[in-house]
Amino acid sequence: MDKNRFDGLIALKLVAENQSFKAAAELLNISTPAISRIIAQLEESMGVTLLTRTTRSVRLTNAGAIFLEQVSPAMEQILKAQDFIKTYGEKPSGPLRINTPVIFYQHYLKDFIKKFLIKYPEIQLEIFSDDQATNIFERGFDAGIRADDIIAKDLIAFKLFGPIDFVTVASPNYFKEFGRPMHPKDLLEHNCITLRFGSGSGIYDKWEFEEKGKEFNVKIHGNLILNNSENIRQAALIGQGIVYTEKGCVEEDLKAGRLEIVLNKYKCQSTGFYLYYPHKTQISPALRAFIEFFKEVKQRERLSRK
């Protein structure tokens, strides 16, 4: 499409929306005769009248209405692409909202975030931590971080960490008082602390294990339900019961002896934690910078280990 014809489409759209040549001309910062001439050239090139003009009003003809209805979606996409590409070479800035599991920032992200914001001080990063299994994009987030098994297949996912082990742990005092389960089915005789993924969501009470290469789950029960993983960790530390969690989140507790692992030979493994975001042709410069910076950090770590 040549530039003159595209300019004509923009002029036609604005005249139709404002029902005025003068108002459309002001929006384009050109004269009224100029916009009238642009639309006349478009009509001439197409061989059809698109606007009906009188001294008091201007409106689309039937042909003009049909034509504008068909081309408007494409025009909007072109204009959005133009606005987006203008920012492509600019230094990333502005808000970036990421939703993560409650424990994730403390155990995985805090050091990375510090380095990221030193490099990109114009980005305003919001890390919102919760364990709800909801559509985070309807809540205004740019991206989320979750384990691979709960990410919808129609989303783009980029691996951050992994693989990760899921372990069954409790405090030494709990095991001293109630004994240690030797097989996952023994959990039926123990008080297991369960997680609810947000108000109204289901309870995570089917813990997953593996035996002889086959996965299975055990439907556990207990007298305490909590709605985030940090509260569950705290309950385990005071001997409230047995919990099932990602190993990295309790690594320091295990090293210090505050928590102990059981059923380790039956533990399950996930491929890892992933950053995920919707399929779309454009992502914000801030999110793109976050992804690229993480790739750089992981690449440096791999090289340093060689």
pTM above 0.75, yes or no: no
Whole-number pLDDT of residue 35 = 83
Contacts of 236 (CB under 8 A, 6+ apart): 169, 170, 171, 174, 193, 242, 243, 250, 259
Per-residue pLDDT tens for 31-85?
A: 888 888 888 888 888 888 888 887 777 888 888 888 888 888 887 777 776 666 6
Whole-number pLDDT of residue 270 = 85
Whole-number pLDDT of residue 87 = 56
Bridge partners of 262, per DSSP, are 168
Whole-number pLDDT of residue 1 = 47
CA 220/CA 204 separation, integer angstroms: 9
Whole-number pLDDT of residue 201 = 64
Whole-number pLDDT of residue 106 = 81
Whole-number pLDDT of residue 143 = 92
Domains (range + CATH), the chain: 3-86 (1.10.10.10), 94-150+279-305 (3.40.190.10), 164-270 (3.40.190.290)
Contacts of 161 (CB under 8 A, 6+ apart): 108, 248, 272, 273
226: closest CA among 258, 196, 254? 196
**pLDDT < 70: residue spans in the chain:** 1-5, 81-90, 133, 149-150, 198-201, 280-282, 301-306
13: closest CA among 82, 71, 84, 56? 71
Query: Six-digit token pair at 248?
Result: 């990295």
**H helix runs in 165-249, sequence order:** 172-178, 229-237
Whole-number pLDDT of residue 119 = 92
